[in-house]
Amino acid sequence: MTTPRPTLTVGMVGHAFMGNAHSQAWRTAPRFFDLPLAPVMQVLCGRDAARAAEAAQRLGWAESETDWRRLVERQDVDLVDICTPGDTHAEIAIAALEAGKHVLCEKPLANTVAEAEQMTAAAEVAATGGVRAMVGFTYRRVPAIALARRLVQEGRIGEVRHVRAQYLQDWIADSEAPLSWRLDKSRAGSGALGDIGAHIIDLTQHITGQQITEVSGQLETFVKERPVATEHSGLSGSAGTERGPVTVDDAAVFIARFTGGGLGVFEATRFATGRKNAIRIEVNGSAGSLAFDFEDMNVLHLYDASEPAETAGFRRILVTEPGHPYVAAWWPAGHGLGYEHGFTHQVVDLVRAIAEGEQPEPSFADGLQVQRVLAAVETSSDTRSWQAIERTETP
């Protein structure tokens, strides 16, 4: 007879795009991975009672709620999963941590450095009582990305000299695409820079094991005004005749330097026509190179500079072998994984860290460091100057 495992009851705030992805992860993780705690999808929270109830039933949550404060107060919730716009992250996360709840918060951690600092301070206090907090930079959990980090740590490409990173989308390239909360600075904090640029900042620092120390960048808003979206129209839904201002950037470019002395070139845009979700990372080292593109997410390219020139070249590694990170729990070799699997791996790592009393990664301190880079790029664009970035000590 199998001994029942201790439970980890979860309350989730928000049930749109990220709420759907997180729900699938909470459902799936214990069915494919051997977890020390059994996640229980206890309650989903949304502002509209009818929509929240429908989403709870459809996504597999036992109950629904309309007030996140009541969710945080509940004794039957161990962990609060925050899948809301950035302007609400700090208030919800701090309240949850002070109530003794573990927290998983979607990226970017906050809308400002000040908010991220408050959240990180709250997480550090909570950690002294065994309460854990993690920010959801999910792409870290793509097996090819995890393998890239491992290879860098093993010294396979030597000293890091160049980092190139792009996150290319085109979902608002049409000037008549409607406004949404993602195009409102008061809710989103920033545009392409914070929404997708945050991912490649985190990924490059994660892969290299280094932090960005200074940046010089420019932001641009190509379309200054758009049709106002109808209620619940999502990322690119229908719009009416009313128009409103776009208050965030459409595209961001910046150059950077890393703690090890390497140079970085970054680009984040929602105007790369034809590119849907292209995350391109290349790291050039003294002994080789690595290259990755999320639109071919099960593949990592490795160049070994020690090979003879006659046969040297980038090697295409299909990252589907049981020995690759996370892969053994899934399908036979050659059967690729998808976008949703990163969220499942995130749940796996978080649950294991909580059970083992360890700090999950990325921590709120990691999220704060990314926030400082975002703020520095924005200031650099405004002032046309290089901006140094305060070093963040991560647990």
Q: pLDDT by residue (tens digit) across 95-106? A: 999 999 999 999
Residue 291 has pLDDT above 80, yes or no: yes
Strands 239-245, 387-388: pairing kind: unpaired
Q: What is the mean pLDDT of residues 14-40?
A: 97
- Supply the pTM of this predicted model: 0.95
Confidence of residue 233 (pLDDT cuts 50, 70, 90): very low
Strand locations in the chain (E)? 7-13, 38-45, 63-65, 79-82, 102-106, 133-136, 160-168, 212-220, 225-229, 239-245, 251-258, 263-269, 278-285, 288-293, 299-304, 315-318, 387-388
Confidence of residue 391 (pLDDT cuts 50, 70, 90): confident
Phi, psi angle pair for 221, to nearest 5° = -115, 105
Q: Which CATH superfamily is domain 7-138 in?
A: NAD(P)-binding Rossmann-like Domain (3.40.50.720)
Q: So what's the pLDDT on residue 238?
A: 53
CA distance 93 to 123: 9
DSSP annotation of 179: B
Confidence of residue 229 (pLDDT cuts 50, 70, 90): confident
Helix, strand, or coil (residue 47) = coil
Distances (CA, A) of 104 to 52, 56, 79, 349, 363: 20, 19, 8, 11, 10
Q: Do domains 7-138 and 145-296+298-337 have the same CATH topology?
A: no
Q: What is the mean pLDDT of residues 198-225?
A: 97
Confidence of residue 273 (pLDDT cuts 50, 70, 90): very high
Ordered by start, the domain boundaries in the chain are 7-138, 145-296+298-337
Fold of 145-296+298-337: Dihydrodipicolinate Reductase; domain 2 (3.30.360)
The DSSP line for 267-285 is: EEES--TT-SSEEEEEEEE
